[in-house]
Amino acid sequence: MGGRHRQRGGWARSLGAVLGIFAALGLAGVFARSAFLPGPAPSPAALITLSPSPSQSPSPSFSPSPSPLPDRRKLVLHGTGDVSLDPAYIPNFRTFGYDYAWSGLGGLFKRDDLTVVNLECPVSRLGTKVPKQFNFRCDPAGLPAMHDAGVEVANLGNNHAYDFGPEALLDSRDNLAENDIAAIGAGKDPQQALAPALFTVKGWRIAVLGFDKVVEPPDAVAKPDHPGTAAGHDQKAMIGAVKAASGISDLVMVMIHWGKELQTQPLAGDVSLAHQLVQAGADVIFGGHSHRLQPMEVYRGRPIFYSLGNFVWPNLSVAGATTAIAEVTVSRAGVFTGRLIPAFIESSGHPVLRGV
């Protein structure tokens, strides 16, 4: 049974193992310093794959992984683009409540096995604005509705999680935990920011990681004794974290913030990084930041969603409101199949499915 009936498995023991592996890899100190415009609306059905290359699988399925455990069952996983619970940015929440954000999905996330969203703001009332063009602040009162909708993991590895500084970022982790939603992609130091959320679902051990390649402001990246987001431009740290997570799990999911705003195709460097992450052990990659849908690629049998666009977000243009949910099914034998489920932000903060 999916939805709220799954359980996290061995969190305290597994986290200790992860941090031990991270320490052995030296990930603690390898970090580098480091108005959305209208446009043509892409069709999710047209975004299934990039042009084939010799390194890509010709279909969204792959040969079975070796030696499946006897109690493994089919998995259904979902990922979404940007989610905002900021009532100043989406006034509809003041009128209709936070359930409005999820009421157009027909309970999709309640019926699956794991859902990951990109939470594009600190979910905290603490902290002060950092100097930047846009500062968003999610309302902790919106988290119960997100939990009840079936969301298990929130990625804070993005360019708005640090909008109100380190105090709000760490408070976000606490507020999410209080609502039984795992935070990834940010933390009190590099180890915590890079640590995965761990689940045991239907006989599968699943690790979920978050990375932030879009650094804003420049000091938003986690460093020793400095809270922040995960990795920044340090691709070696990302690859190392994936390898470490792969060593303690059967399946590794990654949500990453990268690319360039308003673009409908991924950057060449991000395609290269995605391939390296799959080579390191990533099984599913959900991308975001461009505020536009981008293609799904299948590389070595693993689905890569380069950008899932907006999701719980204002309706600022047809192109920006055209979105999709990434769905990945994993057979008992380890065959991965990915697809985009079309949706449209019909009113600000209110995505509605247009296909299942």
Q: What is the pLDDT of residues 165-204, one digit of tens each?
A: 999 999 999 999 999 999 999 999 999 999 999 999 999 9
pLDDT recorded at residue 82: 98
Helices (H) then strands (E): counts for the chain: 9, 16
Q: Whole-number mean pLDDT of the chain?
A: 85
Q: What is the per-residue pLDDT for 355? A: 76
Residue 282's CB: how many other CB atoms inside 10 A?
A: 29
The predicted structure's pLDDT at residue 7:
52
Q: For residue 136, which of 103, 108, 169 has the smallest C-alpha distance?
A: 169
45 in a structural domain: no
Q: What is the CATH number of the domain that holds 181?
A: 3.60.21.10
> For 308-330, how does the pLDDT look when each residue is reduced to its tens digit (9 = 90+)?
999 999 999 999 999 999 999 99
Is 248 among the domain residues? yes
- Does residue 331 register a pLDDT over 50? yes
121-179 pLDDT, tens digit per residue, is 999 999 999 999 999 999 999 999 999 999 999 999 999 999 999 999 999 999 999 99
Instruction: Report percent pLDDT > 90 for the chain.
Output: 79
* Res 356: pLDDT: 73
Q: Name residue, tokens 């940010």.
A: 186
Q: Is residue 20 part of a domain?
A: yes
Whether the Cβ atoms of residue 296 and residue 304 lie closer than 8 Å to each other: yes
- 329 inside domain: yes
Q: Whose CA is closest to 84, among 128, 134, 121, 124?
A: 121
138 CA to centre of own chain:
17
Q: Is the pLDDT of residue 3 over 80?
A: no
Whether 180 maps to a domain, the answer reads: yes
pLDDT at 210: 98
Number of domains in the chain: 1
pLDDT value for 69: 53
Q: How confident is the model at residue 31 (pLDDT cuts 50, 70, 90)?
A: very low
Q: Decide if pLDDT at 33 tops 80.
A: no
Check if the beta carbon of residue 242 is closer than 8 Å to that of residue 282: yes
Position 48 in a domain: no
List Cα–Cα distances, 292 to 66, 249, 324, 340, in angstroms: 36, 32, 10, 13
Residue 331 domain flag: yes
Residue 339 pLDDT: 97
Structure tokens at 55: 């390194």
Question: Does the pLDDT value for residue 95 go beyond 50?
Answer: yes
Q: Where on the phi/psi map is residue 24: left (φ > 0), alpha (ψ -120 to 50), or beta?
A: alpha
In angstroms, the CA 156 to CA 146 distance is 15
Q: Residue 50's pLDDT is what?
A: 41
Please check the confidence at residue 12 and state whether its pLDDT lies above 50: no
- Tell me how far apart the alpha carbons of residues 129 and 221 are, in angstroms, rounded to a whole number: 16
pTM of the shown model: 0.84
Query: 166 in a domain, yes or no?
Result: yes
Provide the pLDDT confidence category of residue 63 given band limits of 50, 70 and 90: very low
Domain span at 69: 3-28+62-353
The answer to whether the beta carbons of residues 116 and 255 sit under 8 Å apart is: yes
User: How sure is the predictor about 70, in pLDDT bands with cuts at 50, 70 and 90?
Assistant: low
Confidence category of residue 23, pLDDT binned at 50, 70, 90? very low
258-304 pLDDT, tens digit per residue, is 999 999 999 999 999 999 999 999 999 999 999 999 999 999 999 99
What percent of the chain has a predicted confidence (pLDDT) above 70?
A: 80
